[in-house]
């Protein structure tokens, strides 16, 4: 315990204020800040160089107020915590090279403080770094929260896309997730997922029709051949596409399943046509394209809500 860290004996309710060991520079041109229970003494010029908010603060004519001049009269920063403040200092004021990969929380702290103290290049840097984290360390619902809270539309893309692709019914979503996603994005997500489910049903009951291109020249009974394809589709593909665990776009996924093997036994089809139609179906991107369009439309609508803020 140092002399400048006063103990308050017998009164644990009053927190002990301590000096930061890392962020304490003595000398002229410095100011003392207090964040939670820690005091920081920092170069004013370094802060002004980076932040519009601090530039404005320290550009004001010298006042009689002792605020910031000593540990007894620190500039108290409200609404942030010491960890957020220190991450911001390390990122752009007292720059320190770190060989360790940063957890997403580091960039979230930067995003919050860089927005608060108007450090545009750090807002951009954090907005660029955050989308690169995977869903395990930065869950999609949180991405949407950050996008809304700090007006970073670029965070919507990966978050919304993941939420659309997760094969989890909305009814299983936690209250925390729903709050993070926000009302507007939640409604758009529900609409997009509904649209994708309707498409899944449509794909399941609609055998792809390639017209004459689906038949080989030797196929003479095309109506019978087509009927056999339809019934094989309903029996095998249709049923499998409706498995809730199957990921979109469903047909491409089914190719790794046994269903293709069963399909090869489609009774009543010309064997040449069967091979041809399976090949065409495998290459068919139309449902993948429609899913993609539905998700992109959802992303655009969520972003519109953020930009309008
Ligand atoms: Zn045929």
Give me the phi and psi of 71, to 5 degrees please: -60, -25
The 10s digit of each residue's pLDDT in 225-234 is 999 999 888 8
| Residues, the chain | 309
User: What are 174's two structure tokens?
Assistant: 């936690």
- What's the CA gap between 288 and 165, in Å, rounded? 12
Q: Which is higher by pLDDT, 236 or 68?
A: 68
Distance from the alpha carbon of residue 272 to the mean position of ligand 1, in angstroms:
7
Distance from the alpha carbon of residue 65 to the mean position of ligand 1, in angstroms:
91
Residue 198 binned pLDDT confidence (cut-offs 50, 70, 90): very high
Q: What pTM was estimated for this model as a whole?
A: 0.73
Distance from the alpha carbon of residue 276 to the mean position of ligand 1, in angstroms:
9
Residue 140 binned pLDDT confidence (cut-offs 50, 70, 90): very high
pLDDT at 217: 95
pLDDT at 240: 82
Give me the phi and psi of 122, to 5 degrees please: -80, -30
Distance from the alpha carbon of residue 205 to the mean position of ligand 1, in angstroms:
20
Burial class (CB in 10 A: 0-12, 13-18, 19+), 256: exposed
Distance from the alpha carbon of residue 144 to the mean position of ligand 1, in angstroms:
49
Distance from the alpha carbon of residue 232 to the mean position of ligand 1, in angstroms:
13
Distance from the alpha carbon of residue 279 to the mean position of ligand 1, in angstroms:
14
Q: Which is higher by pLDDT, 243 or 85?
A: 85
* DSSP string over 5-40: S---TT-TTSPPPEEEEEEE--STTEEEEEETTEEE
Distance from the alpha carbon of residue 265 to the mean position of ligand 1, in angstroms:
14
Fold of the 1-133 domain: Potassium Channel Kv1.1; Chain A (3.30.710)
pLDDT at 2: 46
Query: Which range among 77-86, 122-131, 243-252 has the greatest average pLDDT?
Result: 77-86
How do the domains of the chain map onto residue ranges?
A: 1-133, 145-206+293-309, 209-283
Distance from the alpha carbon of residue 219 to the mean position of ligand 1, in angstroms:
5
pLDDT at 42: 92
pLDDT at 238: 82
Element (H, E) at 125: helix 120-129
pLDDT at 261: 63
Using a pLDDT cut of 90, give the percent of the chain over it: 43
Segment among 62-66, 116-120, 221-225 with least mean pLDDT: 62-66
Distance from the alpha carbon of residue 243 to the mean position of ligand 1, in angstroms:
29
Indicate if the pLDDT at residue 252 is higher than 80: no
Burial class (CB in 10 A: 0-12, 13-18, 19+), 95: exposed
Average pLDDT for residues 127-135, to the nearest whole number? 87
Q: How far does CA 90 lie from the centroid of its chain? A: 24
The 10s digit of each residue's pLDDT in 158-177 is 899 999 987 778 888 999 99
Distance from the alpha carbon of residue 45 to the mean position of ligand 1, in angstroms:
79
Distance from the alpha carbon of residue 217 to the mean position of ligand 1, in angstroms:
8
Distance from the alpha carbon of residue 226 to the mean position of ligand 1, in angstroms:
6
Q: Which is higher by pLDDT, 100 or 172?
A: 172
pLDDT at 151: 84
Residue 10 binned pLDDT confidence (cut-offs 50, 70, 90): low
């Amino acid at each position: 315990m140092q002399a400048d860290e006063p103990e308050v004996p017998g009164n644990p309710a009053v927190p002990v204020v301590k000096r930061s060991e890392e962020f304490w520079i003595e000398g002229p041109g410095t100011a003392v800040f207090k964040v939670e229970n820690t005091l920081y003494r920092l170069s004013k010029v370094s802060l002004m160089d980076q932040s519009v908010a601090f530039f404005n603060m320290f550009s004001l004519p010298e006042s009689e107020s002792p605020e910031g001049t000593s540990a007894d009269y620190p500039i108290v920063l409200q609404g942030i915590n010491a960890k957020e403040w220190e991450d911001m200092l390390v990122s752009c004021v007292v720059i320190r090279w770190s060989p360790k990969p940063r957890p997403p929380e580091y960039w979230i702290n930067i995003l919050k403080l860089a927005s608060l103290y108007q450090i545009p290049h750090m807002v951009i840097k954090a907005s660029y770094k955050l989308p690169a984290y995977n869903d395990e360390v930065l869950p999609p619902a949180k991405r949407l929260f950050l996008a809304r809270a700090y007006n970073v539309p670029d965070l919507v893309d990966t978050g919304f896309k993941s939420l659309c692709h997760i094969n989890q019914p909305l009814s299983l979503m936690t209250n925390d997730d729903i709050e993070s996603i926000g009302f507007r994005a939640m409604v758009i997500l529900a609409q997009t997922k509904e649209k994708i489910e309707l498409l899944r049903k449509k794909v399941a009951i609609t055998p792809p029709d390639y017209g004459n291109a689906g038949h080989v020249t030797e196929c003479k009974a095309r109506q019978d051949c087509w009927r056999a394809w339809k019934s094989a589709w309903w029996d095998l593909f249709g049923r499998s596409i409706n498995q809730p665990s199957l990921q979109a776009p469903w047909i491409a996924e089914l190719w790794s399943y046994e269903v293709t093997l069963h399909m090869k036994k489609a009774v009543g089809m010309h064997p040449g046509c069967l091979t041809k139609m399976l090949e065409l179906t495998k290459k068919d991107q139309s449902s993948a394209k429609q899913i993609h369009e539905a998700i992109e439309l959802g992303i655009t609508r969520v972003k519109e809500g953020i930009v309008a803020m």
